[in-house]
Amino acid sequence: MSSQNQLNVLHKFKGIFFSTMSSKELLNSLDSFDAREDDVFLVSYPKSGTHWVAEVIGNIPSAKINLTSPIEFGDISKFEELKMYSKRRVIPTHLSYDMLPRNIKQKQCKIVYIVRNPKDVAVSLFHYYRDNPNLPCIETWPAFLELFLRGDVVYGSWFDHVLSWEEHKDNKNILIISYEEMKKDLSKSIKKMTTFLDINVSDSEINKIAWKTSFSEMKSSAAKENHDPNHTICALTSNRNLVFRKGAVGDWINYFTSKQKRVFDELFTQRMKHSELARRFEDYSK
- 161 alpha-carbon distance from chain centroid: 11
Q: What is the rounded CA–CA span in Å between residue 159 and residue 154?
A: 13
- Whole-angstrom Cα Rg for the chain: 18
Q: Would residue 64 be called left, alpha or beta, if left means φ above 0 and alpha means ψ between -120 and 50 degrees? A: left
CA dihedral 260, 6, 26, 24 (to 10 degrees): 120
Three-state DSSP state, 177:
strand
Are 284 and 249 in contact, with CB atoms under 8 Å apart?
yes
Q: Is 94 a catalytic residue?
A: yes
Q: Of 94, 127, 168, 274, which is the active-site residue?
A: 94
| Cβ neighbour number for residue 62 with a 10 Å cutoff | 11
- 194 alpha-carbon distance from chain centroid: 19
Active-site residue list:
94
